[in-house]
Every structure is written in structure tokens, then in C-alpha cells.
Amino acid sequence: MNQFNRELQLNNSMDKKIASRNHTISLSRQDKIDFSSSLLKIKNNSSIDEIASKTIQGDIFKLAKYLPEKSVDLLFIDPPYNLRKTFNNIVFAQKTIDEYSKWIEELIIAIRHILKGDATLYFCGDWRSSLSIQRVLEKFFIIRNRITWEREKGRGSSSNWKNNTEDIWFCTVSDKYKFYPDRVKLKRKVLAPYKNHDGQPKDWQKSSNGSFRLTHSSNIWTDLSIPFWSMSENTNHPTQKPEKLLAKVILASSDEGDFVFDPFLGSGTTSVVAKKLKRLYSGVELDKEFCCITEKRLKLAEDNPSIQGYQYGFFWERNTKPVMD
């Protein structure tokens, strides 16, 4: 009996209750049964129509060859980083730099056929993983930038600096690609509201709700919050990315109707945000429980398309209440 079925049996008497203020998305006994039936498994060449709006359960290395060629506009890759990590019963073992580089290269070779000629790729990693990521990506793509975002979580270390950031490598297939900086502007409160000689605001706007400045998003992101128990997007996935992070990526590098793909889907954030922003989407995840959580989140998104930290067409600073002018 596999782990998934064992959990069904253990929960047979009563679904686990959680505190009312804890909004972590979990699966009931019935959820696991219902959402399991909607998962897609592919064993033959597939088309966009067959995989769009689907969560594919399986190993990306084994099924990549069945994915449709030149179909993806935006590829978001958030693989296991080069450290030992457990994802339910799946363990990823830390490798040497050369071994991890080889693993990444095998991944890229397996899936690069799905990218359109004007496609964009975002590849996630921490400081250690990035030692391998850059050397591999520059073989196959044009590296445009490295985004560093503040990951404010954890209690620190007594023997080293607290690891407080992660990287996202921004790459394109060619010199023809989509990028829309005006869609990802950050609305900040103005602390020192300078004025022109005529007394008018200088590069900021005054409203009844306060003074704000619209700024272009840089390659340093400090406005993100790691999902936690009181947030409606939170799951039990150990490396879940914020919906706000994916919203920045998707808005900046795709249009409505474009196809967004994630080969390490995890708890489904990429698919969920793509759906909320009216993109086509699909992704692959090995763990069945996380696949079911993805399906549940996609269903919840039908009634709640909001994205924490993105409202009224702007991104807002962390711990800031969005206000309409």
C-alpha cells in the first residue's frame, strides 16, 4: 500500500480539524478521492489542448518527450535546490557542483523542445544552486538578468549568516521576447515627499489615502512574503513560492492566452496564478498529494481570483494595505 492510500485509510474515521485562523490548504479524505480522478498521466505524444488546464502527475525526466513541441511561451522552473530536502516521501539528495550541473543540463536538454522561439525562462535557485545554474543556462539560452528576492523566514544560524535570499535567473531563447515593465510597477509610500519649485509633487502622487510613488521593479525584490499559516494561499509544501512572485513573472513576460508551464509544479502556485491572470497553464508534479492540492487550489481560485500584494493593477510593499485613489 502506498503512502497516499495509507493516509486515506488513516483519515477514514474523521478529517483532521485545524484552528479557525489557520488558512493552510489541506486535503480531506474526500478531496483526495475527488481530485485524484482529475490528474493527467501521459504516455504518448500530447497536444496543448490535451494538457492545458491540467495537472500532470509523473516524472518530468520520463515524460518530457511526450510534451508538445514549441508550445510554451513562459517556462518557470523551480527545481529541488542542491541540498538534501524531503518532499513528503520523496527525498532529493545533495550533490556535488558538477553532479548538480549535470542534473540541470539533463533537464534542459529534455524539455527545451517545448519552448517557442520567443519564449522566456525563469529558473529558481539559492546561492549554492546558482553556482551550477548559471554555467548550464548560458550554454542554451541568453541570460538577461539574475533577480534576487528577500526570503524573510527562518530563525538564523549560530555558525553562519542567515540565508535570507534566493535567485531567479531570467533567460530568453532569442533576442525576440516579451517583457512589460509597466505591468509590474511597485506602489510605495512616500516618506520624503519632495516638491517642485511650483509646489507640485515631484515624481509622486498625492491622494486622500496618502502619498505614493510608482517605481519600476528592479532585480532586487523585497516586497514578498513567504506563505504562512494565516494566508489563504498557504500549503504544507516545504518550498512554496508566493503567488505574488509568480504574478510578477507572469505579468512581465506573457500575455493573456499565452501558455505557462512548470515542470516542478509542487503545490501548484504557477498554475493557480496563471489561471487567475487568464493564461493557459499546465505543470508536472511527481507527488500525488501535491498534485491534489494543486487541483484544490485551482478550484478555489474560481471563487477567489485575488493575489495577495497585487491589487488595483499595482504591486504593493510588504505589510501595506492597498488603497484605491
Beta strands across the sheet bearing 54-57: 54-57, 280-285, 259-262, 72-77, 115-125, 165-172, 142-150, 220-221
Domain parsing of the chain, residue ranges: 23-180+219-305
CB-based burial, 239-265: b 16+ in 10 Å, e otherwise: bbbbbbbbbbbbbbbbeeebbbbbbbb
CATH superfamily of 23-180+219-305: Vaccinia Virus protein VP39 (3.40.50.150)
How confident is the model at residue 276, as a pLDDT?
97
Lowest mean pLDDT: which of 85-89, 142-146, 192-196?
Answer: 192-196
For the cut 90, the answer to whether the pLDDT of residue 191 exceeds it is no
For the cut 50, the answer to whether the pLDDT of residue 199 exceeds it is yes
DSSP string covering 244-306 = HHHHHHHHHH--TT-EEEESS-TTSHHHHHHHHTT-EEEEEES-HHHHHHHHHHHHHHHH---
- Nearest Cα neighbor of 293 from 20, 30, 32 is 32
Q: What is the mean pLDDT of residues 137-162?
A: 89
Confidence of residue 10 (pLDDT cuts 50, 70, 90): very low
Segment of 10-14, 220-224, 235-239 carrying the highest mean pLDDT: 220-224
How confident is the model at residue 207, as a pLDDT?
67
Single pTM value for the model: 0.88
Q: What is the mean pLDDT of residues 67-82?
A: 96
Mean model confidence pLDDT for the chain: 87
The percentage of residues in the chain with a pLDDT greater than 90, rounded to a whole number, is: 62
Confidence of residue 96 (pLDDT cuts 50, 70, 90): very high
Which whole-number Å values give the CA distances from 184 to 62, 65, 99, 181, in the listed order? 36, 34, 36, 6
Q: What is the mean pLDDT of residues 178-202?
A: 77
Confidence of residue 215 (pLDDT cuts 50, 70, 90): confident
How confident is the model at residue 189, as a pLDDT?
77
User: Tens digits of per-residue pLDDT, 27-65?
Assistant: 899 999 999 999 999 999 999 999 999 999 999 999 999
